[in-house]
With several copies, the nearest count.
Chain A
Amino acid sequence: MKYIDEYRDGRLAKDIARQISEEVRPDVNYHFMEFCGGHTHAISRYGLEDLLPDNVRMIHGPGCPVCVLPIGRLDAAIALAQRPEVTLCTYGDLMRVPGSNGSSLLKAKAAGADIRMVYSTLDALRIAEAEPHREVVFFAIGFETTTPPTALALRAAIEKGLENFSIYCNHVLTPAAIQTILASPEVAKLGTVKVDGFIGPAHVSTVIGTEPYDEFAENFRKPVVVAGFEPLDVIQAILMLVRQINEGRYVVENQYIRAVKPGGNRKAQAEVAEFFEQRESFEWRGLGDVPQGALRLREEYSHYDAEKRFGLVTPASKDNPACDCGAILRGVKRPTDCKLFGTACTPDTPMGSCMVSSEGACAAHWTYGRFREHAKTKEIERSVA
């Protein structure tokens, strides 16, 4: 598969890893946050951490839209779907995310709510056209990648005069979240989370470009390397970060130059700007309220805004108190720090959203990496015996 296989060459990865080991300073600990779940997934799926020297540590960021969706908004979506007149269209990823009191879209569907899994906003439009008597709501979530498709669907709905189509908008903005992390007490003051550099988003950056990161690199003096989601992309980005640190640089570099332009995709940006505007503030699970952290439909498209159309109130989020998702999303904890990980909480019986999405830190570690603890336990046992 062109542009895939060549970036999955394990031997090259090992060679780069060796190079990283050679270049890291033994006295320095390198902490890099991969913002994106796509990178988290690649790191776990390909076991990249095994290749890295001990003093290079990856911190999983909040870059998974499923994981950062506050429970209150999921609860609101479930309540919306339960209305008899409503058909809720959603990407499959959200079906199993636990809401309050053990609810989920999957269970609501089983109990009778009309919930349809779609692959694309085009499918939701098609449903609205085919079933004019239903109120078809698209449960829009995602970063800058999924927002332009939502905008295009809205444009098409307006052109086709589809009065029964609306959008429950949960699109969030990456740069605002990175800003919040860097400015957070844990990172900025307390130092409980050390972040020496960022691996910047791959596909988000195809839309927004690399320019939005310049400000952070500058203001917070942290290097940022935008990288593709294939394992070689990630490991090369780590090498690039190590080199910037070693050289005392903190600029934005673009490893994913084959798809990302500095200015991003202007056409997509224009589509988004036409229909959406920034919210003053929006709750990200784990990060709390993020200023300018999300989008909403512009006033003139209120008719298509499910929040207004159905007078949705977002219940206060009642996070499961035993679930450490919040801390994990901030990089304060790792999945294995959670008492529920692998016992009460598994992908079959997820207690938190990080265990659902395959980009969630908990799910990625469970699905691909959990043998490592046991392998380590074994080594420890052996050395003790």
Chain B
Amino acid sequence: MNIAVVKPTRRKLDLRNGRVDLSHGAGGRAMGQLIEDIFHTAFDNDWLRAGNDQSAFTVPAGRMVMTTDGYVVSPLFFPGGNIGSLAVHGTINDVAMSGAKPLYLSASFIIEEGFPLADLAKIADTMGAASREAGVPIITGDTKVVERGKADGVFISTAGVGILPEGIDMRSNAARSGDCVIVSGSIGDHGVAVMSKRENLEFDTDILSDSAALHTLTAAMVAVGGTSIRLMRDPTRGGIAATLNEIAHQSSVGFRIDEEKIPLKPEVAAACEFLGLDPLNVANEGKLVAVVAPEAADAVLAAMLAHPLGQEAALIGHVVEDPHCFVQMETSFGGGRIVDWLSGEQLPRIC
């Protein structure tokens, strides 16, 4: 028996000039092709190719963590990365900040009608590369298309799961008076890199986003610091000012930090002067803040300095008792000041 199976010719997506249209989100063949040609190609793993609505994996008994973040960065492409690298790194980092080893990611795309297929492919390729480099595959995903004017290019929500080493149980309320505060490198690079390309703000600088997956750094830290690491946090939105204030309130402590010890690139400082911003409020995507028991601080810092992503790590201050939960900073000028959450959105100041 030799039945001629005539199958529709699979026309290739026009990755040069094509655009996402509503049919790409409608659950039909056009959507299947978009997912296959762009996402499966970029993420390249058997979980996705199996085409199930969920993916399975094996875990040992123990404690796991789960996290999610939505990515809505504008512009989508910026020096040092794009929304895709953020969506991978950011969620890996949120897993890693617990001390866990990130295992798998999911990715949900919400795409605006008209979005260039070339840009979508570029973003997906970046995600694939970031996920492979980190060894954390994207095993399940979803694609929605909304009408023009109902989104902003593309939004990505990733979720991540990881497994915790035995005994590790970091909590945001674990900081205690006397603990050391360590930052893993220079602050504000990401926010400045993004703002440099924002419409109406455009300025030129060589600063790149610091977007990076920090799980190998945290693994190295946990290896030497173990339970002496009280907690770790990646200072993203709101910068280290927001992170320290959050920890202060969650742990009911205060901080004393030293401006001079905080790693800061001159170009970032200069860009902040241009924009009237405080680098402490500016977002990072490849940095972490760790609160470490004093006896382990040197070892943890040494482990960080020995890691490529912690070469500029620095001990920037200490946890203090403070019923007001103030984050106080000794300025390089010599005076004291409070470091507060930013109020409202981070906007260039005129005043």
Contact = CB atoms under 8 A, between A and B. Distances in A.
Judge A-B direct contact (beta carbons within 8 Å): yes
Interface of A: 1, 4, 8-11, 13-14, 37-38, 41, 44-48, 50-51, 64-66, 91-93, 95-96, 106-107, 109-112, 117-120, 123, 126, 142, 146, 231, 342-344, 346-350, 357-359, 366-372, 374, 377-378, 381-382, 385
A64 B326 CA distance: 27
Contact of B350 (A11, A92, A369, A382): A92
20 contacts: A41-B351, A47-B333, A48-B335, A64-B351, A92-B349, A93-B350, A106-B21, A106-B22, A106-B344, A110-B21, A110-B114, A119-B348, A120-B200, A126-B200, A142-B350, A348-B28, A348-B29, A370-B338, A371-B336, A374-B324
A4 B266 CA distance: 12
Interface string B2-42: 11101111010000000111110000111000000000000
A95 B344 contact: yes
Nearest to B337: A368
Interface residues of B, number: 46
Contact of A93 (B3, B23, B113, B351): B351
A84 B23 CA distance: 24
A46 B21 contact: no
Contacts of B23: 96, 106, 348
B9 A343 contact: yes
B135 to A, nearest CB: 36
Given A95-B347, A377-B3, 13 more contacts: A1-B269, A51-B335, A95-B344, A96-B344, A106-B23, A106-B344, A109-B114, A119-B201, A344-B11, A348-B23, A349-B8, A374-B324, A381-B3
Contact of A109 (B113, B269, B347, B350): B113
B45 interface: no
Nearest to A96: B344
Interface in B283-305: none
Grouping DSSP codes into helix (H, G, I), strand (E, B) and loop, the B interface class, with mixed when no group exceeds half, is loop
A10 B332 contact: yes
A371 B326 contact: yes
Interface of B: 1-4, 6-9, 11, 19-23, 28-30, 113-114, 148, 200-201, 266, 269-270, 273, 324, 326, 328, 331-338, 340-341, 343-344, 347-351
Contacts of B114: 109-112
Contacts of A123: 200
Contacts of B269: 1
Contacts of A343: 6-9
Contact of A110 (B4, B148, B200, B337): B148
A111 B19 contact: yes
Nearest to A47: B335
A198 B201 CA distance: 35
A110 B326 contact: no
Contact of A369 (B3, B11, B337, B341): B337
Contacts of B29: 348
Given A47-B337, A107-B19, A111-B114, A342 B331 contact: no
B247 to A, nearest CB: 17
B3 A4 contact: no
A107 B21 contact: yes
Contacts of B350: 91-93, 119, 142, 146
Nearest to B341: A348
Contacts of B343: 96, 346-348, 350
Contacts of A344: 8-9, 11
Nearest to A1: B270
B30 A348 contact: yes
B8 A346 contact: yes
A341 B343 CA distance: 16
Given A110-B21, A367-B340, A371-B326, A117 B347 contact: yes
B6 A371 contact: no
Contacts of B113: 109-110
Given A1-B269, A106-B23, A110-B114, A385 B1 contact: yes
Most central of A38, A120, A346 by chain B CB within 10 Å: A346
A358 B6 contact: no
B8 A47 contact: no
Contacts of A348: 8, 23, 28-30, 341, 343
A46 B331 contact: yes
Contact of A231 (B9, B20, B266, B333): B333
B200 A119 contact: yes
A52 B231 CA distance: 40
A367 B11 CA distance: 19
Contact of B335 (A50, A109, A142, A359): A50
B306 to A, nearest CB: 32
Residue with the greatest number of chain A CB neighbours at <10 A, chosen from B3, B7, B200, B347:
B200
B337 A45 contact: yes
A231 B183 CA distance: 28
List 8 A-B pairs, minimum CB-CB distance, nearest first.
Answer: A47-B335, A10-B334, A347-B343, A92-B347, A110-B21, A10-B333, A110-B114, A91-B350
Nearest to B10: A349
Contacts of A366: 340
Q: Chain A CB within 10 Å — which of B1, B6, B20, B337 has the most?
A: B337
A13 B333 contact: yes
A267 B187 CA distance: 40
A142 B350 CA distance: 10
A350 B21 CA distance: 15
A357 B3 contact: no
Contacts of A374: 3, 324, 326
A377 B337 CA distance: 17
Contacts of A346: 8, 343
Contacts of B341: 348
